[in-house]
Amino acid sequence: MPSWKAPALSGVPVDVRVLAEEVAADLQLLTGTVVEVVRLHLEALDTALSLDMPELLADQLRWQAVRLESAGAPFGPDDVERVVREALAPHLDDAAMRAVQDLQHAASVLGASGSVADGAVELGEGPARDYLTAALAGRRDDAVKVVREAMLADLDAADIMLTILQPAQVELGRLWESGEISIAHEHYTTAITQLALSLLYPRMLLNRTLLGHSIVALSVGSEGHEVGIRMISDLLEQAGWRTAYLGADVPHRDVVEQVALHRADVLAVSATMAGHISGVRELVAMLRADPRCADVRVLVGGRPFTINPRLAELVGADGWAPDARGALELCRSWTEVRTRAR
């Protein structure tokens, strides 16, 4: 059965992926890129409708404009919106159709105002750029050498992560989103960053003091952007926490079992696409319903929460952080409050 979250779309009898292929066919460009753009548009539309948050769709429109242009599509976001409406129309009553049209209009206005602009700036000169340049050129050894040289200079592992690897990944995302690099570049460079994190991991465990705190961390749904949440996990490991990094695409029930098994103080969840927000909300609701997890704090992060921090409260989280450093500070503050209470 189709799993639309917004009441206005509950009457649509086909799944998002099926409808995305139909819309791409109607646009007369049935390619993988166009199908992906339409699917993400539909998922963002569904989430934005269910939460009454048009800025989530506005951000998707900003992103898809660049992706369509880089793919050489002879149409833009406005055309995608129009064909989506046409595909939905036979399944929606007048009230539901007005809800879709009003949300799309609000999203377009927000996008035109620039209020959901990315805000990311080009990476400046330094080790982070040297690392990324080498990785994008396919020179894995040279990229890893930047990290090794920082280690030999006795730079703290956390500083290497936060001043080299994290900025490089942010710039990587900007380049991919703007269509300047391919998905192959993005995957290859991310794999190198995973390797670099593995090199740093033994150093992060040196001379640490175990604090008795525990965290379970993951990316919700089929998120491909796992590096940020892994960095949070590794930073807390260095700070003396016990960590369980689950990766991505883990069933909600299994996540809750891991939280209970590890007696976690915090569950950290990352979502980088608007369409995955409903999955975050479902996971948090399942966690809250389990008495074994009654005192667990939930930390969320990712692009949608940056667009509107109020989203963290709407999904039932206790807080959100814009980056790994902010997540570390928030987790520390929560445990300090709990320690004083005891």
As a whole number of angstroms, the distance between CA 255 and CA 252 comes to 5
Q: Alpha-carbon dihedral of residues 19, 80, 33, 196, nearest 10 degrees?
A: -100
Give pLDDT, residue 120: 58
With pLDDT > 70 as the criterion, what percentage of the chain qualifies? 94
Nearest to 275 by CA among 68, 63, 108: 63
Across 200-231, b (16+ Cβ under 10 Å) vs e yields: beeebeeeeeeeebbbbbbbbbebebbbbbbb
As a whole number of angstroms, the distance between CA 264 and CA 241 comes to 10
CATH code reported for the domain at 127-204:
1.10.1240.10
Half-sphere exposure (CA, 13 Å, Cβ side) for 200?
31
Give pLDDT, residue 64: 86
On the question of a common fold for 127-204 and 214-341, the answer reads no
Is domain 214-341 classified as CATH 3.10.180.10?
A: no
- Mean pLDDT, to the nearest integer, of 160-174? 91
Q: Token pair for residue 14?
A: 């086909």
pTM for this prediction:
0.87
DSSP 21-44: HHHHHHTT---HHHHHHHHHHHHH
**Count of C-beta atoms within a 10 Å radius of residue 97:** 15
Residue reference for tokens 């949070």: 232
As a whole number of angstroms, the distance between CA 249 and CA 231 comes to 18
Show me where the domains of the chain are located: 7-113, 127-204, 214-341
CB 276 within 8 A of CB 223: yes
pLDDT band at residue 144, thresholds of 50, 70 and 90? very high
As a whole number of angstroms, the distance between CA 182 and CA 188 comes to 10
φ and ψ of 18, to 5 deg: -65, -45
- Residue 68 makes CB contacts below 8 A (sequence gap 6+) with 33, 34, 37, 75, 76, 77, 80
- Mean pLDDT, to the nearest integer, of 65-71? 82
Nearest to 9 by CA among 35, 32, 41, 33: 41
What's the one-letter identity of residue 227? V
- Mean pLDDT, to the nearest integer, of 41-48? 94
Give pLDDT, residue 207: 75
As a whole number of angstroms, the distance between CA 318 and CA 126 comes to 36
Give pLDDT, residue 338: 67
Give pLDDT, residue 163: 93
Q: Is the pLDDT of residue 341 over 70?
A: no
Q: Is the pLDDT of residue 224 over 60?
A: no
As a whole number of angstroms, the distance between CA 317 and CA 280 comes to 9
pLDDT band at residue 51, thresholds of 50, 70 and 90? very high
- Residue 282 makes CB contacts below 8 A (sequence gap 6+) with 252
Give pLDDT, residue 336: 80
Q: Is the pLDDT of residue 221 over 80?
A: no
Tell me the CA end-to-end span of the chain in Å, nearest whole number: 48
* H-helix segments, the chain: 16-26, 32-51, 54-70, 77-88, 94-113, 127-136, 140-152, 157-160, 166-177, 183-204, 227-238, 252-261, 277-289, 303-307, 310-314, 324-341
Give pLDDT, residue 184: 85
Is the backbone of residue 207 left (phi > 0), alpha (psi -120 to 50) or beta? Answer: left
Q: Token pair for residue 25?
A: 């066919």
Q: Is the pLDDT of residue 223 over 90?
A: no
With pLDDT > 90 as the criterion, what percentage of the chain qualifies? 63
CB 311 within 8 A of CB 53: yes
**Count of C-beta atoms within a 10 Å radius of residue 126:** 12
Q: pLDDT tens across 86-131, in order? A: 999 999 999 999 999 999 999 999 988 877 766 556 778 899 999 9
Q: pLDDT tens across 246-304, in order? A: 988 899 999 999 999 999 999 999 998 888 898 999 999 999 999 999 999 999 999 89
Give pLDDT, residue 339: 64
pLDDT band at residue 137, thresholds of 50, 70 and 90? very high
